[in-house]
Amino acid sequence: MICFGSWGLLSSVLPEISREILLGMIFPWSMFLLSVLITQIMHLKFSFNITKYLGIAMIAKMILYGIIIVAIFSFMSFNPIPFIISFTGYYLMLHLTEAYIVRSFINNKQL
C-alpha cells in the first residue's frame, strides 16, 4: 500500500510523469508480491531447500526484469528517465523489504 500511496503523492506533484512512475512501480511491486508468496509456500513445504530456491528465484527475477524492461522500451513511447528513477527506487525498497520478510520466515516469525 505504501507503493500506491507514494505513487499517488508523486502523481499529484508531478502529473506529467505519472504514467512513468506507475510503470516503474507496478513491475517491482507485482514481482515482490509473487516472490514473497512463493517463498512463503516453499519455506512451509520445503524449508530444507530454501537457499537453493532463493538462488533460482533471484536468477529468474533478473531474467524477467530484463524482459520487462526491453519490452517496455521497445513497445512504448514515454520519458525513460522518470521510469528508470522510479523503477530503481521501488526495486531497491521492495527487495530490502523482501529480504526482511524472508529473514522473518526463516526465523519462524510470520508477519
Indicate the domain borders of the chain.
2-106
Q: What is the DSSP letter of 7?
A: H
pLDDT tens per residue across span 86-107: 999 999 999 999 989 888 877 8
Percentage of residues in the chain having pLDDT higher than 70? 94
Closest CA to 21 of 1, 45, 3, 39: 3
State residue 111's pLDDT score.
47
Q: Which residue has the cell 505504501?
A: 2
Angle at which helix 18-45 crosses helix 50-75, to 10 degrees, equals 160
Q: What is the mean pLDDT of residues 21-32?
A: 92
State residue 2's pLDDT score.
81
Grid coordinates in use for 30? Answer: 507485482
CA 54-56-61 angle, to 5 degrees, is: 90
Residue 24 burial (CB < 10 Å; 0-12/13-18/19+)? buried
